[in-house]
Amino acid sequence: MSDEGVCKRSIVFFLIPDFTMMAFAAALEPLRSANRMAGYQAYQWRLASVDGGPVQASNGVEVAVGSSLADERRKMTNHERPSMVIVCGGLNIENYANKTVFAWLREEYNRGVALGGLCTAAHVLAAAGLLADKRCAIHWENLPGFAEKYPKANVFADLFEIDQNVYTCAGGTAAMDMMLKLIGEDFDDGLINRVCEQLLTDRVRSPSDRQRLPLRARLGVQNSKVLTIIELMEAHLSEPLSLIEIAENVGLSRRQIERLFRQEMGRSPARYYLEIRLDRARHLLIQSSMPVVEVAVACGFVSASHFSKCYRELYARSPQQERADRKQLLAA
């Protein structure tokens, strides 16, 4: 018997304040388009918030919802229970701590409901205890702080990850790729291709496609040896390689590496390496509650005092001031 006309999935989009509109729209529109291409309501959805009131996105736009957390808890035991709950995250989510929301997500998951997270919502799923030993994805900017805070989660800088009944994506247009993959679990390639044509995208990107621009485009560097060295540096931030070790890895002399970096990057390799370690430290200070000394160790500094000195020289403020400014901004 054909299942044409049967609802494939019912989805609750749970909006967290300061959620990212781009990721939300990129997740929702493929479902709308799939319904249109299929000729019936294959996908149904509703929007929810903690109190049932409108939620403001990070761009300032308020979005009305039709359901509260209390409503969703009542619906768990009847025919209105969704097949999937997608948490929509965005800015300032690192310290989200609504225990009632966490309990609800665990209950839904234990009842067989799939869970999803857009953009930074992996923070919410992890805080609820749902990402231990699971592969997940999060926006590259938030990955260092997330990895330090939730070491049991297997986080990757992928566009999206699907591990059993948990779907996470890095946000932005990656939400569209994840939803197209989900739709592809329910329909054949013909419908997926038509949805892609409607959305003016030429393909469904794979989970392992890059989040960020390739180094060549991001840095404007063409020399392949310099790019290889930078990749090595980025892969060894907590335990920095010596210039001798880097030279042995790439088959160049120290003198050659020094000259290449002066030509291509306008600074020494040691200075560039220091800057990318301090950049990671800045992300950890902003996105996590790790003690400053732990941030220093995680970024390859042998002492907190040396770390603070280098940080102040680059950013004109101490690590403690960086964190205090962030807290003040969040409280405003």
User: pLDDT tens digit string along 137-154?
Assistant: 998 888 888 888 899 999
Per-residue pLDDT at 331: 57
Per-residue pLDDT at 5: 74
Contacts of 83 (CB under 8 A, 6+ apart): 9, 10, 11, 113, 114
**Other CB atoms closer than 10 Å to residue 279's CB: what's the count?**
14
* pLDDT above 80 (res 310): yes
* Chain centroid to CA 269: 29
* Lowest-confidence segment of 19-23, 226-230, 322-326 by average pLDDT: 322-326
Could you report the per-residue pLDDT of 169-216, keeping only the tens digit for each?
999 999 999 999 999 999 999 999 999 999 988 878 887 776 665 667
Instruction: Report the pLDDT averaged over residues 228-243.
Output: 91
Quick one: what percent of the chain has pLDDT higher than 70? 94
Could you report the per-residue pLDDT of 16-50, keeping only the tens digit for each?
999 999 999 999 999 999 999 999 999 999 999 99
Per-residue pLDDT at 289: 75
Cβ 67 vs Cβ 32: under 8 Å = no
* pLDDT above 70 (res 114): yes
CA distances from 37 to 11, 46, 174, 243 (A): 19, 20, 21, 57
* pLDDT above 70 (res 14): yes
* pLDDT above 70 (res 258): yes
Could you report the per-residue pLDDT of 261-300, keeping only the tens digit for each?
999 999 999 999 999 999 989 988 887 778 899 899 989 9
Tell me the domains of the chain and their CATH numbers: 9-198 (3.40.50.880), 215-331 (1.10.10.60)
CA distances from 190 to 37, 66, 187 (A): 10, 33, 8
* pLDDT above 60 (res 1): no
Mean pLDDT of the chain: 91
At what angle are helices 243-250 and 254-264 packed, to 10 degrees?
90
- What b/e string do you get for 166-184 counting C-beta neighbours within 10 Å, with b at 16 or more? bbbbbbbbbbbbbbbbbbe
Cβ 133 vs Cβ 152: under 8 Å = yes
- Which of 218 and 28 is assigned the larger pLDDT? 28
Instruction: Report the pLDDT averaged over residues 72-93.
Output: 93
Per-residue pLDDT at 201: 86
pLDDT band with cut points at 50, 70 and 90 for residue 82: very high
Tokens of 44: 């149904």
Per-residue pLDDT at 214: 64
Contacts of 209 (CB under 8 A, 6+ apart): 158, 159, 177
Query: What whole-number distance in Å separates Cα of residue 152 and Cα of residue 132?
Result: 5
Instruction: Report the pLDDT averaged over residues 98-111.
Output: 96
Instruction: Report the pLDDT averaged over residues 98-104.
Output: 96
